Amino acid sequence: MAWLILGIAIFTEICWALSLKWAATLGSWQASAVPIALSFLNMGLLALAMKGIPAGTAYAVWTGLGAVGVIIGGVLFFGDRVNPAQIAFMAMIVVGVVGTKLFASA
């Protein structure tokens, strides 16, 4: 169950980071409230996941997949560009996360 909660936390992390850019483009207080709310949800879910997963493992998976997800979301929603070297390094992050998960004790 902790890994499912961590997966939801990763999704909210990605949404949170992308909502920062979205809110900056709109410039309204209502849009600024979205990343604030997602931040609280995100941290709560990460803390909950850490009850069943070691903190270092949870944080490494959360940050790694969150970073890759934000890059992909930036490409899809904001037209950000990535080059082949960036894609290769993102793949290495994913390989590291998979290895972390496979060898985790929880």
| Confidence check: pLDDT of 17 > 90 | yes
pLDDT at residue 106 in the model: 58
**Confidence class for position 103, pLDDT limits 50, 70, 90:** confident
Stated pTM of the model: 0.89
Query: Looking at beta carbons, which pairs linking 97-100 to residues 24 or more positions away fall under 8 Å?
Result: 97/60, 97/61, 97/64, 97/65, 100/57, 100/60, 100/61, 100/64
pLDDT, tens digit, 9 for 90 and up, residues 89-98: 999 999 999 9
CA–CA distance, 89 with 99 (Å, rounded to integer) = 15
**Confidence class for position 57, pLDDT limits 50, 70, 90:** very high
| Confidence check: pLDDT of 50 > 90 | yes
How buried is 102 (Cβ within 10 angstroms: 0-12 exposed, 13-18 middle, 19+ buried)? Answer: exposed
Domain ranges, ordered by start, for the chain: 2-102
